[in-house]
């Protein structure tokens, strides 16, 4: 075992003295040391119950003959940070991967469990698993129940209420009821937003127990899953089953296929590609777009449709989704060492109105489309969340550098039907930190606009719906065309043809590029380091 370097030998006698001070005895020195990376905090609704799950994980580790060591992992609530202080969210993902590397390697742990749930914490833990390649397993904390009397509300309802209030089309009393009822308790927000997208990806990738992605946070089943996750962590060490045997190229393509078919958040591309990179596998936008062209959309979960994660769980969860997609999946094994394609034969689709057959999908293509053209070498849109009459659109640009200015424009009535709202200098280096644009996109939807598109080099929340095109590359900060757009320039979007263009001649764009001055941003030392790392990454491409 890796931990034998601490347990045996004269030179590590002082190390054992310290371990005994932490409560270990002679018997413990014969057991696997299993880390528990616990992201509990009492700020994020998706994490307020994780302490209970960690306790069950530790019980499972002890009962299977291991010694658990727990530490805290930071977590940011994107919904709370949104619009207010969002620039630290994406950088926190990499910080979480580093946190786990520091703790696991410094303490010679034999394996570890990641206890997670929300947006950046789950991909950060998967990145660490791929990077370290020692036995590891993830448990996600489970989705929140939908809100309202009949499950009609979720977090996107609250964000869209902002636009309705700004426009004066919603009574403040109704808005108050949405605030009070849209998020009824513990768990990741109930739609297929980024947190639940990543939980589904984790299970499809093979890194969590079967069925765990959709088990409700408040369910006793989730406590059982936590216990079994702890037991399995010890078995993984004894079997020497490492992430590299599970997170293969086939597994990444399977996870991308499930993600595309269920219509997950556009952030799924960003995060799954980052995990793959840690595993030494290239997973670029072309892979996702290629899958989306051939794999249909078989689930319509909020914000794309009426269902929530509890409906997907009731319908059979990710195993049932994968069974329906079996013709598109490749050979792989899961965290239990089982052959994936054999295992999903036992799954059952219990509600074909929630998980449709591939022969009768909600949409003939997958959830994501990658657009290219004179405005972007690459950009992403959640096409299943776009109305048919906005799949093709041409309109004048309204350019903003800050989210708050968009809200002011909605209040003042200066945004009109047909406009293309541009929010630039919001990329990884430009913001920096690539914040999500849910507040302006939800405000536009809530204000009742049907024919307004939004384009940004920032990101979108999984709760975003409508013709919202993000992840524009190259970003404005490094001279990308999105930073050269001026009010009134005509923008043409053609999602079926995968095009996005600025109808300005190249000579004029080049003149604008030479005169380009990025807006100044006040940066903390953390954000300064992050910007430098992004610029170095761009330089190395």
Q: Is residue 138 a contact partner of residue 202, using CB atoms and an 8 Å limit?
A: yes
User: What is the pairing mode between strands 33-38 and 392-400?
Assistant: unpaired
Q: What is the per-residue pLDDT across 190-242, written as a single tens digit (0 to 9) for each?
A: 999 999 999 999 999 999 999 999 999 999 999 999 999 999 999 999 999 99
What does the pLDDT read at residue 163? Answer: 84
What confidence tier does 443 reach under pLDDT thresholds 50, 70, 90?
A: confident
C-alpha to C-alpha distances, 7 to 65, 173, 194, 452, nearest whole angstrom: 16, 63, 41, 64
Q: How buried is 364 (Cβ within 10 angstroms: 0-12 exposed, 13-18 middle, 19+ buried)? A: exposed
Q: How many CB atoms lie within 10 A of CB 441?
A: 31
C-alpha to C-alpha distances, 3 to 98, 106, 472, nearest whole angstrom: 20, 11, 45
What confidence tier does 457 reach under pLDDT thresholds 50, 70, 90?
A: very high
φ/ψ of 36, rounded to 5, equals -125, 105
| DSSP letters for 138-166 | EEE--BPPPBSTTS-B-HHHHHHHHHHHH
The catalytic residues are 461
Averaged pLDDT score across all residues of the chain: 95
What confidence tier does 272 reach under pLDDT thresholds 50, 70, 90?
A: very high
Q: What is the per-residue pLDDT across 112-137, written as a single tens digit (0 to 9) for each?
A: 999 999 999 999 999 999 999 999 99
Q: What is the per-residue pLDDT across 24-72, written as a single tens digit (0 to 9) for each?
A: 999 999 999 999 999 999 999 999 999 999 999 999 999 999 999 999 9
Q: What is the per-residue pLDDT across 473-514, written as a single tens digit (0 to 9) for each?
A: 999 999 999 999 999 999 999 999 999 999 999 999 999 999
Distance from chain centroid for Cα 85: 18
What confidence tier does 446 reach under pLDDT thresholds 50, 70, 90?
A: confident
What does the pLDDT read at residue 413? Answer: 87
Q: What is the side-by-side strand order in the sheet with 368-371?
A: 368-371, 378-382, 468-473, 453-456, 420-423, 392-400, 490-494, 499-502
CA distance 55 to 208: 18
Decide if pLDDT at 541 tops 80.
no
What does the pLDDT read at residue 426? Answer: 96
Decide if pLDDT at 447 tops 90.
no
What does the pLDDT read at residue 412? Answer: 87
Decide if pLDDT at 424 tops 80.
yes
Decide if pLDDT at 289 tops 80.
yes
Return the higher-pLDDT residue of 461 and 238.
238
pLDDT, average across residues 60-89: 95
């Amino acid at each position: 075992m890796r931990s034998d370097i601490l347990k045996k030998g004269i030179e590590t006698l002082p190390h054992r003295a310290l371990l005994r001070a932490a409560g270990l005895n002679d018997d413990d020195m014969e057991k696997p040391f299993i880390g528990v990376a616990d992201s509990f905090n009492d700020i994020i609704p998706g994490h307020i119950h994780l302490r209970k799950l960690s306790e069950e994980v530790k019980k499972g580790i002890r009962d299977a003959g291991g010694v658990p060591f727990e530490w805290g992992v930071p977590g940011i609530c994107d919904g709370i940070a949104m619009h207010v202080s969002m620039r630290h969210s994406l950088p926190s993902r990499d910080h979480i991967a580093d946190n786990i590397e520091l703790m696991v390697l410094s303490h010679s742990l034999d394996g570890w469990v990641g206890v997670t749930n929300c947006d950046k914490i789950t991909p950060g833990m998967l990145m660490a698993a791929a990077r370290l390649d020692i036995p590891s397993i993830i448990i996600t904390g489970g989705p929140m129940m939908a809100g309202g009397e009949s499950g009609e509300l979720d977090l996107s309802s609250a964000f869209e209420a902002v636009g309705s209030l700004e426009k004066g089309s919603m009574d403040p009393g109704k808005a108050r009821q949405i605030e009070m009822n849209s998020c009824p308790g513990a768990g990741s927000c109930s739609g297929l937003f980024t947190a639940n997208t990543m939980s589904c990806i984790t299970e499809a990738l093979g890194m969590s127990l079967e069925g765990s992605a959709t088990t409700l946070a408040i369910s006793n089943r989730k406590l059982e899953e936590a216990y079994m996750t702890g037991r399995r962590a010890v078995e993984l060490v004894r079997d020497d089953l490492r992430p590299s045997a599970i997170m293969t190229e086939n597994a990444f393509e399977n996870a991308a296929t499930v993600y595309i078919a269920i219509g997950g958040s556009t952030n799924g591309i960003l995060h799954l590609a980052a995990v793959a990179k840690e595993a030494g596998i290239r997973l670029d936008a072309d892979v996702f777009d290629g899958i989306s062209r051939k794999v249909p959309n078989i689930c319509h979960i909020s914000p794309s449709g009426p269902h929530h994660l509890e409906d997907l769980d009731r319908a059979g969860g990710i195993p049932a989704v994968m069974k329906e997609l079996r013709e598109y999946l490749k050979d792989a094994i899961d965290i239990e060492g089982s052959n994936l394609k054999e295992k999903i034969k036992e799954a059952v689709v219990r509600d074909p109105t929630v998980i449709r057959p591939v022969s009768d999908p909600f949409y003939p293509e997958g959830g994501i489309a990658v657009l290219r053209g004179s405005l972007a070498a690459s950009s992403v849109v959640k096409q299943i969340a776009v109305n048919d009459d906005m799949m093709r659109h041409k309109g004048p640009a309204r350019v903003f550098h800050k989210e708050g200015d968009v809200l002011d424009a909605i209040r003042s009535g200066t945004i009109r039907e047909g406009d293309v709202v541009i929010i630039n200098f919001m990329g990884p280096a430009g913001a920096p930190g690539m914040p999500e644009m849910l507040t302006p996109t939800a405000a536009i939807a809530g204000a009742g606009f049907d024919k307004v598109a939004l384009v940004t080099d920032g990101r979108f929340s999984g709760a975003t719906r409508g013709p919202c095109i993000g992840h524009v590359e190259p970003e404005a900060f490094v001279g990308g065309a999105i930073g050269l757009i001026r009010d009134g320039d005509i923008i043409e979007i053609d999602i079926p043809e995968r095009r996005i263009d600025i109808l300005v001649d190249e000579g004029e764009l080049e003149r604008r590029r030479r005169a380009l001055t990025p807006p100044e941003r006040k940066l903390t030392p953390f954000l300064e380091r992050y910007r430098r790392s992004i610029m170095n990454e761009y330089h190395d491409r």
